[in-house]
Amino acid sequence: NQYGIKKALERLGVQEENKGASTGNIWIVSEEKYIGSFSPADGALIGKVQLTDSKSYEEVVLKAQEAFAKWRVLPAPQRGEIVRQIGNAIREVKEDLGKLVSYEMGKSYQEGLGEVQEMIDICDFAVGLSRQLYGLTMHSERPGHRMYEQWHSLGIVGIISAFNFPVAVWAWNSMLAWVCGDVCIWKPSEKAPLSGVACQHIVAKVFKENGLPEGISSLIVGDYKVGEMMSQDKRIPLISATGSTRMGKIVGQAVAARLGRSLLELGGNNAIIITQNADMEIAIRGALFGAVGTAGQRCTTTRRLIIHESMYESVKERLALAYSKLVIGNPLDEKNHVGPLIDKEAVNMYLNTIKKVKEEGGVAVVEGGVLEGEGYESGCYVKPCIIEAENHFEMVQHETFAPILYIMKYNTLEEAIGMHNNVPQGLSSAIMTLNMREAEAFLSSAGSDCGIANVNIGTSGAEIGGAFGGEKETGGGRESGSDAWKAYMRRQTNTINYSDSLPLAQGIKFDI
Ligand code: NAD
């Protein structure tokens, strides 16, 4: 209450007990039990949400199908106008939603606000996009023929999201999907369902004010079992799933089995190469925020630092000093740099990883551990740690969603890029250098194998204007900016004959 959470929840329409299945303004009763959402900040129960059962799921899908028939025929710029209004509605509740995200997920209030800002930004992007869903025009090989392509809406987009970006990932997907003429069914993470409930209230109001039908935006709530209802449902042509690689492999296979499309945004194992030509101030600040921001719970968190041997000791020292100044505590208190992990299970994974990596030969430069005492009652606060390790260690190859930073040395840039790429994941990457040859080598086709490669910027904190996503076990999907919208539409090639004969393609003769 000290942080005004109660008032924020009230204004967002989040109650103590919420129904979990919604087609917009209609909230459907399920027979299933409630799941509680507990804040990792203080351990308190924030509210409960009903689990969606198969009967309410069915109702949601039927409404979505009906809505699609109407929504897809609205001209795209008019759909953009609705998204513009949604952007404004989000602007009005930015502080409240940012607070809820911070309290429910545990990221700092500043980062909560940043996440909501990303939602607003993607709305603006989508509004412009609604007039730019361009297809190409081709020259036909046949006389008197015209050939072009157009992009049509796809249908229902099923969105499965992770706990760590409880609202922005949904916005990246749904705002684009909506201007593309699709309708969305969203299953937020079971670890942050109230953020989902809040978003659903925000958009439902806008659809209603514009006299639009139920089913353009739907919400379902629950764990993997509810997610499976969507991944196995052939009425849903596209599943956009964000989460662990483990989840992506299951969802990807389920969707592929019915020849549906999936857009997968999975785990990362992001590294920064710090060369002897780095601007040290930028390198340290970039690595610090990348490694400890959101308590190491970003898919783009910096997990590995690959440091030139001549700089290794000084980087190590400077980072250790910076870590000693970190203030860990309640994410809503703006003096704190680092908040909690999402839950105790995540704390156990963090502890387990530290133990295992030490068994493999890792040596702590900054020790980790769980914080206890006043302010840390939830049991979810841990110390960001730094461990000297080798790239091939099992734990280094694996993404642990916690603030554990591995540091390692290199001698030649070729060796550094080799180490950099030698992990199963391929999301975000960076090089810190003022040397043009090093930077360009890193960005070349023989350089970083990630979906995101930066120079003199850390690995986290991407802008919405670029396509976001990664290669290898990160899943290959791209969301957000650039031409990521194409994943939400189906391409149609059209050839029109305006001549008075019927020439066949490839010069084939077929005369009777
Ligand atoms: P998670 O995989 O445990 O859960 C993610 C979502 O998938 C949840 O909504 C969950 O209910 C659902 N799910 C799990 N198993 C499922 C199944 N078999 N069928 C259908 N749905 C299923 O991930 P998490 O702990 O919430 O999030 C952390 C992970 O997400 C990290 O690996 C992180 O790197 C990744 N992530 C990736 C990106 C990206 O854009 N690449 C962004 C954010 C998070």
For ligand 1, atom 35, the nearest C-alpha belongs to: 243
pLDDT of residue 274: 98
Whole-number Å distance, alpha carbon 243 to ligand 1 midpoint, is 2
Q: 2: pLDDT confidence band, cut at 50, 70 and 90?
A: confident
pLDDT of residue 151: 98
For the stretch 23-45, pLDDT in tens is: 999 999 998 799 999 999 999 99
Q: Which burial class, exposed, middle or buried, applies to 71 when counting CB atoms under 10 A from its CB (0-12, 13-18, 19+)?
A: buried
Q: Is the pLDDT of residue 290 over 90?
A: yes
* Average pLDDT for 396-414: 98
Q: 216: pLDDT confidence band, cut at 50, 70 and 90?
A: very high
pLDDT of residue 512: 85
d(CA 240, CA 477): 9
- Which phi and psi (to 5°) does residue 50 adopt? -75, 140
- Per DSSP (E only), the strands in 183-328 are 183-187, 217-219, 238-242, 261-265, 270-274, 302-308
Both structure tokens of 397: 């190859």
Q: Is the pLDDT of residue 1 over 90?
A: no
* Average pLDDT for 185-214: 98
* Average pLDDT for 259-263: 98
- Looking at the DSSP bridge assignments, the partners of residue 472 are 425
d(CA 116, CA 121): 9
Amino acid identity of residue 123, one-letter, is C
Q: Is the pLDDT of residue 153 over 80?
A: yes
Taking the CA of residue 474 as reference, the ligand 1 atom at the shortest distance is 41
Whole-number Å distance, alpha carbon 108 to ligand 1 midpoint, is 21
Positive or negative torsion for Cα 40, 374, 295, 402: negative
Both structure tokens of 487: 């994943």
- The preferred substitution site among 118, 160, 301, 398 for testing ligand 1, maximizing ligand atoms within 8 Å of CB, is 160
Q: How far is CA 255 from the centre of its chain?
A: 19
Whole-number Å distance, alpha carbon 28 to ligand 1 midpoint, is 25
Residues 6+ apart with CB under 8 A from 195: 97, 100, 101, 104, 105, 166, 167, 188
Name residues contacting ligand 1 (CB within 6 A): 160-165, 187, 189-190, 223-224, 227-228, 231, 242-244, 247, 250-251, 265-268, 299, 399, 401, 427, 474
> DSSP of 294-319, one letter per residue?
GGG-STT-EEEEEEETTTHHHHHHHH
Q: How far is CA 274 from the centre of its chain?
A: 26
Question: Vertex 370, ends 363 and 341: CA angle to 5°?
Answer: 105
Whole-number Å distance, alpha carbon 266 to ligand 1 midpoint, is 7
pLDDT of residue 32: 77
pLDDT of residue 123: 98
31 tagged catalytic: no
Percent share of the chain, pLDDT over 70: 100
Which one, of 296, 24, 350, 156, lies nearest residue 13 by Cα?
24
Q: 180: pLDDT confidence band, cut at 50, 70 and 90?
A: very high
- The preferred substitution site among 244, 341, 401, 474 for testing ligand 1, maximizing ligand atoms within 8 Å of CB, is 244
- The preferred substitution site among 221, 233, 258, 299 for testing ligand 1, maximizing ligand atoms within 8 Å of CB, is 299
* Average pLDDT for 355-371: 98
d(CA 468, CA 462): 8
Q: Give me the count of residues in the chain.
A: 512
d(CA 382, CA 372): 9
By the 8 A CB rule, do 365 and 404 touch? Answer: no
- Which phi and psi (to 5°) does residue 484 adopt? -60, -20
Please name the residue that has the structure tokens 């790239």: 391
By the 8 A CB rule, do 389 and 361 touch? Answer: yes
d(CA 104, CA 193): 9
Residues 6+ apart with CB under 8 A from 287: 272, 274, 302, 305, 315, 319, 405, 432, 458
CA atoms within 13 A on the CB side of 479: 27
Taking the CA of residue 250 as reference, the ligand 1 atom at the shortest distance is 18
pTM above 0.95, yes or no: yes
Whole-number Å distance, alpha carbon 164 to ligand 1 midpoint, is 9
Taking the CA of residue 346 as reference, the ligand 1 atom at the shortest distance is 25
Q: Is the pLDDT of residue 198 over 80?
A: yes
d(CA 221, CA 186): 8
pLDDT of residue 80: 98
CB neighbourhood size of 485 (10 A): 24
Mean of all residue pLDDT scores within the chain: 97
Catalytic residue among 32, 104, 214, 265: 265
pLDDT of residue 92: 98
Q: 511: pLDDT confidence band, cut at 50, 70 and 90?
A: confident
- Which phi and psi (to 5°) does residue 416 adopt? -60, -45
